[in-house]
Amino acid sequence: MLNNKPQVIFQDLGLMDYQQAWDYQTQVHQALVAQKRHNRQEEQLGRATAPQQHQLLFCEHPPVYTLGKSGSIDHLLLNEAELAAQGFTFYKINRGGDITYHGPGQIVGYPIFDLDCFFTDVHRYVRYLEEAVLRTLAEYDLHGYREPGYTGVWLAATDRLPKRKICAIGVHLSRWVTLHGFAFNVNSDLTHFENIVPCGINDADKSVTSMAKELGQPVAAEKVKTKLKAHFADLFGFDYVE
């Protein structure tokens, strides 16, 4: 039987400088957009087209703060000298959302998909990113939820703890091809969030957390990645290219 599912290339890039990863994302994104244009020209001429080379990239970054196009620089609480002294880098980027932190112990995911091959609905796309993380957390008996009015994945408040954000999401689309993605706190150093107003949220009843903090011990990141990959394939209905 012919398999008509989209095919996705998965790459775990390991620990990678943010600028290097951004450049690589951009290269993959531009290739997808160029192939889409070429395919449309070929279709108009009645010729066969090549399948899109969607990619799902996982990586970690050295400590870095990134500010989305709708964010406020006032949400970065360090000046340039303090950033350098503490070993952080900082980038203004073209995703949605405000300021966030990336660093070791975090799974940063960059799905670079041509949504014309899946569905053309940005809201649904963001919900699927959240759902993949929600399903992964559930396998560790952590029950995440979506906080109304915000993107990302949260854990509910308790008698002792406020609402805690465990995964941030910020995306950008061009010609329905996705860029940027999510940052999932697995074994993250949460003190690094103290240098920013995370995602521009300065509410007393909201904080950040990680799987390790919630479970009281370090988490095997490779196992989390395997579960996360499987949920992505199931939600979006694709197969991985071996």
Selected catalytic residue, list 59, 117, 167, 199: 199
Residue 5 phi, psi (nearest 5): -70, 145
Ordered per-residue pLDDT tens for the chain, 242 residues: 456 899 999 999 999 999 999 999 999 999 999 999 998 888 888 887 888 999 999 999 999 999 988 888 999 999 989 998 999 999 998 887 888 999 999 999 999 999 999 999 999 999 999 999 999 999 999 999 999 999 999 999 998 999 999 999 999 999 999 999 999 999 999 999 999 887 777 777 889 999 999 999 999 999 999 999 999 999 999 999 97
> What's the distance, CA 39 to chain centroid?
28
Tell me 78's DSSP state: S
Written as six digits, the tokens of 35 are: 């192939």
Judged on CB neighbours under 10 Å (0-12, 13-18, 19+), 79 is exposed
Q: What is the pLDDT of residues 10-39, one digit of tens each?
A: 999 999 999 999 999 999 999 999 999 998
Residue 90 has a CB neighbour count (10 Å cut-off) of: 17
Tell me 80's DSSP state: H
| Dist CA 155 CA 215 (whole Å) | 12
> What's the distance, CA 24 to chain centroid?
15
Which residue, chain included where needed, has tokens 């980038």? Answer: 91
Residue 236 has a CB neighbour count (10 Å cut-off) of: 22
Residue 87 phi, psi (nearest 5): 80, 25
| Dist CA 18 CA 31 (whole Å) | 20
Which stretches within the chain are classed as H helix? 18-44, 80-85, 122-138, 211-215, 221-236
| pLDDT the model gives residue 3 | 65
| pLDDT the model gives residue 1 | 44
| 117 in active site | no
Domain 7-240 has CATH 3.90.190.20: no
| pLDDT the model gives residue 89 | 93
Which amino acid belongs to residue 25? Q
| pLDDT the model gives residue 132 | 98
Q: What is the pLDDT of residues 201-225, one digit of tens each?
A: 777 788 999 999 999 999 999 999 9
In the three-class reduction of DSSP (H, G, I as helix; E, B as strand; rest coil), residue 160 is classed as coil
